[in-house]
């Protein structure tokens, strides 16, 4: 910021307009005209994030180190001395304990004013000690990054801090402790390639840049000009690297929602078992209608979508984006929130209601990135001990050439294996179409439910008719032969229950449809949550093991399951 008129007025570097200094400070250094986020120093950042009066700085006494006796235009110790005088800090990292809307947290903040927030032995030690403190106390860790990379004056010993801090984050993963990174501008080099991008959730401020190599280095190397938004938060969100972008005034509330869900595991809300009273488990109670009618009803664009159901059922929802490998598939949505009083991870396929929404969402057909995003969220649920609910409405996995190049088969297969072994309660609901392996990749769960006008099949009726009847007009006959409807699938034991839809179908009354789904889900989760992790996994595997099993093999499997439970 450029100062004018005795520090009363400032010139915003984002829009070039004059802004009143006091208004700028009250807005946590965010321009009220263009939203440009200026840098906060570490004390300012801690004051902005933590509840008033809750902050206690952690005393990490770390001796000075000049392992190389380094000197460029001046000796390294002299650079340190000047940085301390200029900033009032001992080093580039400040760590503290405190609370965010009452939720205990350990926070480590990098200050770019101190030698560019560079990763030194002292900074690496401070981050590691903060992580170890979080591990001892089982308290979530929030990292706020701003750095140019590893500190050159400490040579390869600075490089080793990348490994040290990364393994500290790994220990928090093993212990089930939530980690969150807030990326501020800029975050590069060794910090970006270690602890900054290993957190469970990565939130970026608008316009914040993150990358390993800097823009100038890349352009000089490849001799090409890069897009204007390259490495910005907006670019990274589109490419699946960060979970969300939040303006500064929304950071506290977003963190509070994440901390609330992560620190209140489903087991704490298990209570007494409650029957899933909204579910129909007797096929005879369901209307006997032609399956082709159900296919047409399942495809209606008036039906509630996954995001519609999340909006009506899941409170305090925080959507999380990206597969962390370069993509964010719009056909798959997911995040954390509360279903009634139970914190969950919810994942689903998203179609939409209009032609524009269908196009934007890839017609609800996930790419490999979509399945990998789902897998990342399921691993997060397993780490935090949260139940997983999946909502399925897809004609199938995306059939494009790019999907095949990016490993569609592998992505689906890995999800099937992952879901089979998740140590938390899992429930899938087919809310519309359940198309083949693309649907199954989200449906290897303890209980599989369907809405009464939903369908679930190995192939679309049209596809089956084209292959076997050589005539797509035979689709109604194929639908009947495939037994794609909820009544048939309940008889076959493929699903465990059916969620009744209101008169005229779920599209006629979204609120009533959501109410029935809420009752069904809460009932099933209350049945599952008292179970221990071993029982949850054994029961799920037994459920899918039985399909196509000979009777004598089934008896042997029941004995084996019982023995596993006794051993556990």
Q: Which of 279, 342, 348, 343 is nearest to 310 (CA)?
A: 348
Helix axes 368-384, 408-420, angle to 10 degrees: 20
CB contact at 8 A, 372 and 416: no
251-262 and 42-49 helices, crossing angle to 10°: 60
Q: Is 12 annotated as a binding residue?
A: yes
From the number of C-beta atoms within 10 Å of its C-beta (0-12, 13-18, 19+), residue 473 rates as exposed
Does an H or E element contain 456, and which? strand 455-457
Alpha carbon 316 to its chain's center: 14
Is 451 assigned to a binding site? no
Are residues 22 and 5 in contact, defined by beta-carbon separation less than 8 angstroms? no
User: Which contacts (CB < 8 Å, 24+ apart) does range 270-277 have?
Assistant: 270/526, 270/529, 270/530, 271/526, 272/526, 273/526, 273/527, 273/530, 274/522, 274/523, 274/526, 274/527, 275/523, 275/527, 276/497, 276/519, 276/520, 276/522, 276/523, 276/524, 276/527, 277/519, 277/523
Question: How many residues can be counted in the chain?
Answer: 568
- CB-based contacts of 313, cutoff 8 Å, min separation 6: 339, 514, 517, 518, 521
3-state secondary structure of 330: coil
Tokens linked to 368: 């490999």
Phi, psi of 385, deg, nearest 5 = 75, 35
102, 394, 469 from 481: Cα distances, Å: 57, 21, 12
Phi, psi of 367 (to 5 degrees): -85, 175
Collapsing DSSP states into helix, strand and coil, what is residue 240? coil
Angle at 42 between CA 37 and CA 46, to 5 degrees: 90
Q: Which two tokens stand for residue 209?
A: 């840049």
Please give the Cα distance from 29 to 26 (Å, whole number).
7
- Half-sphere exposure of residue 545, counting CA atoms within 13 Å on the CB side? 16
Residue numbering of the annotated binding site for Zn(2+): 12, 15, 31, 34
Residue numbering of the annotated binding site: 12, 15, 31, 34
């Amino acid at each position: 910021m450029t100062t004018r008129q005795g520090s009363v007025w400032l010139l915003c570097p984002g829009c070039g307009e004059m802004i009143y200094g006091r208004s700028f400070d009250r807005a946590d250094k965010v321009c009220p005209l263009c939203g440009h986020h200026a840098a906060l120093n570490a004390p300012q950042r801690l004051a902005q994030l933590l509840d008033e009066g809750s902050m206690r700085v952690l005393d990490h006494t770390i001796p000075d180190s000049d392992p190389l006796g380094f000197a460029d235009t001046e000796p390294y110790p002299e650079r340190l001395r000047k940085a301390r005088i200029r900033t009032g800090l001992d080093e580039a990292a400040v760590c503290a304990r405190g609370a965010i809307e009452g939720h205990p947290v350990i926070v480590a903040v990098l200050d770019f004013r101190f030698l560019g927030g560079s990763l030194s032995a002292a900074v690496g030690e401070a981050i590691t000690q903060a992580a170890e403190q979080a591990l001892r106390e089982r308290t979530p860790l929030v990292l706020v990054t701003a750095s140019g990379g590893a500190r050159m004056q400490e040579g390869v010993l600075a490089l080793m801090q990348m490994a040290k801090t990364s393994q500290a984050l790994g220990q928090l993963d093993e212990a089930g402790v939530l980690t969150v990174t807030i990326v501020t501008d800029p975050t590069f080099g060794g910090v970006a390639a270690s602890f900054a991008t290993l957190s469970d959730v990565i939130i970026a401020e608008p316009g914040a840049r993150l990358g390993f190599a800097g823009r100038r280095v890349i352009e000089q190397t490849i001799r090409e000009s890069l897009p204007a938004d390259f490495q910005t938060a907006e670019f990274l969100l589109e490419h699946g690297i960060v979970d969300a972008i939040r303006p500064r005034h929304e950071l506290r509330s977003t963190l509070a929602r994440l901390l609330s869900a992560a620190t209140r595991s489903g087991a704490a809300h298990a209570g007494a078992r409650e029957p899933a009273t909204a579910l129909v488990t007797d096929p005879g109670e369901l209307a006997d209608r032609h399956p082709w009618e159900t296919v047409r009803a399942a495809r209606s664009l008036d039906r509630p979508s996954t995001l519609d159901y999340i909006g009506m059922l899941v409170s305090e929802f925080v959507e999380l984006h990206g597969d962390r490998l370069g993509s964010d598939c719009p056909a798959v949505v997911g995040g954390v929130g509360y279903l009634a009083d139970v914190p969950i991870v919810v994942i689903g396929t998203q179609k939409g209601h209009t032609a524009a929404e269908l196009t934007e969402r890839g017609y609800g057909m996930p790419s490999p990135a979509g399945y990998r995003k789902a897998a990342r969220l399921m691993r997060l649920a397993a780490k935090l001990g949260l139940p997983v609910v999946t909502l399925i409405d897809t004609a199938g996995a995306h059939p494009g050439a790019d999907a095949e190049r990016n490993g569609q088969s592998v992505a689906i297969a890995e999800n099937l294996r992952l879901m089979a072994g998740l140590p938390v309660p899992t429930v899938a609901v087919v809310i519309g179409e359940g198309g083949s392996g693309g649907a199954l990749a989200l449906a290897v769960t303890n209980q599989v439910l369907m809405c009464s006008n939903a369908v679930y099949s190995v192939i679309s009726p049209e596809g089956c008719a084209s292959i076997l009847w050589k005539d797509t007009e035979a689709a109604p006959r194929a639908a009947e032969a495939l037994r794609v409807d909820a009544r048939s699938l309940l008889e076959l034991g493929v699903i465990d229950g059916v969620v009744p839809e209101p008169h005229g179908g779920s599209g006629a009354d979204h609120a009533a449809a959501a109410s029935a789904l809420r009752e069904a889900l809460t009932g099933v989760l209350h049945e599952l949550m008292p179970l221990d992790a071993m029982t949850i996994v054994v029961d799920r595997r037994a459920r899918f093991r039985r399909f196509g099993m000979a009777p004598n093999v089934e008896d042997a499997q029941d004995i084996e399951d019982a023995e596993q439970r006794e051993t556990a």
